[in-house]
Amino acid sequence: MMRTRPLKVALLGCGVVGSEVARIMTTHADDLTARIGAPVEIAGVAVRRPSKVREGIDPALITTDATALVKRGDIDVVIEVIGGIEPARALITTAFEHGASVVSANKALLAQDGAALHAAAEEHGRDLYYEAAVAGAIPLIRPLRESLAGDKVNRVLGIVNGTTNFILDKMDSTGAGYQEALDEATALGYAEADPTADVEGFDAAAKAAILAGIAFHTRVRLDDVYREGMTEVTAADFASAKEMGCTIKLLAICERAADGASVTARVHPAMIPLSHPLASVRGAYNAVFVESEAAGRLMFYGPGAGGSPTASAVLGDLVAVCRNRLSGATGPGDSAYAALPVSPMGDVVTRYHISLDVADKPGVLAQVATVFAEHGVSIDTVRQQGKDGEASLVVVTHRASDAALTGTVEALRSLDTVRGVASIMRVEGE
C-alpha cells in the first residue's frame, strides 16, 4: 500500500554532496516514491551562506538555523552532509532526540564519536546509516554489516581516499607536481574542506577505523590507527618503485592477527606490484579487498569521491532508512561485542624498501648488512648505484616486524658511513 503523506527530510549541507543529493531526490522523485512506498520530500536545507544561488533548490527551503530545522517535529530523516565535528555532532544528537533517523557521510565524526552516536540512535529507536562515509559510491559498509554478518573477516585492505589516489596517479602517470594535482582534485570536489585531512592520511585513517570496527566487531578509535600521509612521496620513490615493477598507493590495511586475539589498523603509502589489481586503480577511484574465512577474497571497486557518486550512497541509505521507518523497524546497529585489543604498529609484519645514501668505500655494504642481521631483518635484494664518490643503496627486506625495522633504521642512522636514510616504504600486496 502506497502512503500518500510524504516522509520529510532535513538536508544539512548543500555543497558538493548535498547539492547532488537534492538534485537526485528531485529528478528521481517518482522512482524513490515507488521504492520506498511513500513520497519523500525535502522539508528544509541548512547552509552557512543563505544568499548563495543554488540551482534546483526552492529558496524558501533554505535556512541558516540547522538546529531549529532538526528540532521540527515533522522531520523523519536528517541527512548530514556538512562535515567536521561540530555542529554536525550536536545536530545529529538533536535529530535523534526529536525522533528523526540520520544518514551521514561524515567519516571524521563517525570515527571519533561513532559509539556515542550509535548509542543515541539506539536509545531513541532510530537508524544511523553512513554508507557514503567510506569509499564514496562503493557499497562497503552494508556488505560488511549485513552480507558478511555470518562470516569472519580477517583482513580489509585497499585504497579508500580518492584525492590521494588522484594525486599519486597523476604524479606517476603524467609526472605532474604534487600541488598541481592537489589543486585539480580540489576543483573536482574530491578533497575535504581542509585537504590536509586527505594528504596527511587523516581521512583514510578515519575510514580505516570505521571499517576495522565493523569488520572485527571491535571498537577501533581514530587514535588506534597508525597513520602516515603521502606528502613525502617523491618522484624518486616512483622511479625506485618502477625499477621493482611496482607503483605507490596510499593504503588502508586492517588485519586480524594470525592467532585471532588482536587487530591492527594502519594507513600509509606502500609499494605494490604493477600486477596487483590495486595498481590499476586510477584517478579518484577506490578499491577495497575484504578477506573472510568462508567467502575468501572479495573486491569492491568504484568511484571513491565526488558529489554524484557520494550522493548515490546517501540516497541508498535514505531509501533503507525510510523503508525501516514505514515498517516500524530499525536496521543493524553498533556491533563491538568482540572487543579485541588493537595492537601497536610495531607488531605489524610486512616487507620494506629502504633507500640509503652511503659512503662509496670498501666494507660499507657489509656494515649495513650486519645492522640488518643484528636486528633480525632478513634482506631480500640490494641494489647499489654510485654517485659522486657516494652511493645510493636500495635494500628490500623479507617480512619483518615494524619494531625490528625501526630499530634497524635507528642503528643505520648512527653509522658514520650512512649519510642519510632517503626513504622507507612498506611493500604490500605480494
Could you give the residue numbers annotated as active site? 207
38 binds, among ligand NDP, ligand HSE, none (CB under 5 to 8 A by kind): none
C-alpha cell at 237: 620513490
Which of residues 94, 161, 264, 312 is near ligand HSE by CB under 6 A?
Answer: 161
Q: Which is nearer to ligand HSE, 100 or 197 (CB)?
A: 197
13 binds, among ligand NDP, ligand HSE, none (CB under 5 to 8 A by kind): ligand NDP
Binning the chain into helix, strand and coil, the percentages to the nearest 5 are: 40, 25, 35
Beta strands in 168-320 (DSSP E): 226-227, 246-256, 263-273, 285-292, 296-303
The 3-state DSSP class for residue 213 equals helix
Q: Which of residues 120-139 bind ligand HSE (CB under 6 A)?
A: 136
Helix 178-187 and helix 162-174: axis angle, to 10°?
130
Using an 8 Å Cβ cutoff, are 297 and 281 in contact?
A: no
198 binds, among ligand NDP, ligand HSE, none (CB under 5 to 8 A by kind): ligand HSE
269 binds, among ligand NDP, ligand HSE, none (CB under 5 to 8 A by kind): none
Binding region for ligand NDP (CB under 6 A) = 13-18, 46-49, 52, 66, 81-83, 87, 105-107, 132, 136, 189-190, 192-193, 305-306, 310
Q: What are phi and psi of 400, to 5 degrees?
A: -150, 160
Q: Which is nearer to ligand NDP, 160 or 425 (CB)?
A: 160
Give the span between the Cα atoms of 18 and 334, in whole angstroms.
Answer: 26
Using an 8 Å Cβ cutoff, are 141 and 133 in contact?
A: yes
Which of residues 192, 224, 317, 428 is near ligand HSE by CB under 6 A?
Answer: 192
Smallest gap from Cβ 204 to ligand HSE, in A, equals 8
State whether the Cα torsion 122-124-126-129 is positive or negative: negative
Give the span between the Cα atoms of 402 and 266, in whole angstroms.
Answer: 12
CB atoms within 10 A of CB 416: 8
17 binds, among ligand HSE, ligand NDP, none (CB under 5 to 8 A by kind): ligand NDP
State the residue for C-alpha cell 615494524.
402
161 binds, among ligand NDP, ligand HSE, none (CB under 5 to 8 A by kind): ligand HSE
Which of residues 190, 226, 301, 372 is near ligand HSE by CB under 6 A?
Answer: 190
Burial class of 198 by CB neighbour count within 10 A (0 to 12, 13 to 18, 19+): buried
C-alpha cell at 183: 589543486
Q: Which of residues 268-307 bind ligand HSE (CB under 6 A)?
A: 304-305
CB-nearest residue to ligand NDP: 15
For position 113 contacting ligand HSE by CB under 6 A, the verdict is no
Smallest gap from Cβ 244 to ligand HSE, in A, equals 27
Looking at 232-363, list the stretches that DSSP marks H as alpha helix, in order from N- to C-terminal side: 235-243, 307-327
For position 189 contacting ligand HSE by CB under 6 A, the verdict is no
Smallest gap from Cβ 298 to ligand NDP, in A, equals 21
Binding site for ligand HSE (CB under 6 A): 136, 161-163, 190-192, 198, 203, 304-305
